[in-house]
A and B are shown apart, each in its own frame.
Chain A
Amino acid sequence: AQSVAQPEDQVNVAEGNPLTVKCTYSVSGNPYLFWYVQYPNRGLQFLLKYITGDNLVKGSYGFEAEFNKSQTSFHLKKPSALVSDSALYFCAVRGSTGGYQKVTFGIGTKLQVIP
């Protein structure tokens, strides 16, 4: 069975500092990895995804994520945090082996950017 772990319930970072939100995964075959963001009282919005190719993926709002196959990780990063980045972030994984693959989400990490 596939799984996603987001080891931190909350990450606090000062505005202007770099941020990292961690994600590790377990899946059969090649992983397809996603990051979504949820602002208060809103649905999830797509940020970025890794399918294949370059291990560094760039997405919306200046976010990027680094795929590390040996460590089975897909950490979300941003060089300089904004207060408006404060939200709940979900990592998700889909397997690539056969048929319609359901998505497995992590439990989410709350990012708090402090002015």
Chain B
Amino acid sequence: NAGVTQTPKFQVLKTGQSMTLQCAQDMNHEYMSWYRQDPGMGLRLIHYSVGAGITDQGEVPNGYNVSRSTTEDFPLRLLSAAPSQTSVYFCASTIGQLSTDTQYFGPGTRLTVL
């Protein structure tokens, strides 16, 4: 299994540009999440999905959109990039809905918005 994969690894955008961060998992996990990691703030949840066709907002959803058309893929879209969105983005998946389930993380995408 490849686990959780993310592309690209690095990206530089100009303010106002849009882009999509890709995330895929091959473990048939129901639950997927997007986090951003900023110094001194840990990981903050952006959006999550409890299954194909179902998504919901996390604690910092503004400026981001998600969709979940398949179990495997969970792309994150930046609609109009802003410097405040400069961060490292991690995708994670969990096998099910139990609170005891472990999360599996992708390697991350380092995004810089100029």
A is bound by B? yes
Set of chain B residues within 8 Å of A36, measured between Cβ atoms: 103, 105
Question: How many interface residues does A have (CB within 8 Å)?
Answer: 24
Residues of chain B whose beta carbon lies under 8 Å from any beta carbon of chain A: 4, 31, 33, 35, 40-45, 48, 50, 58, 90, 92, 97, 99-100, 102-108
Set of chain A residues within 8 Å of B106, measured between Cβ atoms: 43
Set of chain B residues within 8 Å of A46, measured between Cβ atoms: 102-104
**Listed stretches A10-18, A70-78, A101-109; interface member:** A101-109
Residues of chain A whose beta carbon lies under 8 Å from any beta carbon of chain B: 4, 32, 34, 36, 41-46, 49, 51, 90, 94-96, 100-103, 105-108
Complex A-B, nearest 5 residue pairs according to Cβ-Cβ distance, in ascending order: A43-B105, A107-B42, A105-B43, A44-B105, A94-B99
The tally of CB-CB contacts under 8 A between chains A and B is: 54
Quote the shortest CB–CB distance from B26 to chain A (angstroms).
Answer: 15
Set of chain B residues within 8 Å of A43, measured between Cβ atoms: 4, 90, 105-108
Tell whether A107 pairs with B45 under 8 Å between CB atoms, given A34-B102, A45-B105. Answer: no
Which chain B residue shows the least CB distance to A6?
B42
How distant is the Cα of A90 from the Cα of B44 in the complex, in angstroms? 12
Set of chain B residues within 8 Å of A107, measured between Cβ atoms: 40-42
In the complex, the answer to whether B58 meets A42 with C-beta atoms within 8 Å is: no
How distant is the Cα of A10 from the Cα of B50 in the complex, in angstroms? 35
Quote the shortest CB–CB distance from A72 to chain B (angstroms).
Answer: 17
How distant is the Cα of A105 from the Cα of B33 in the complex, in angstroms? 13
How distant is the Cα of A42 from the Cα of B50 in the complex, in angstroms? 25
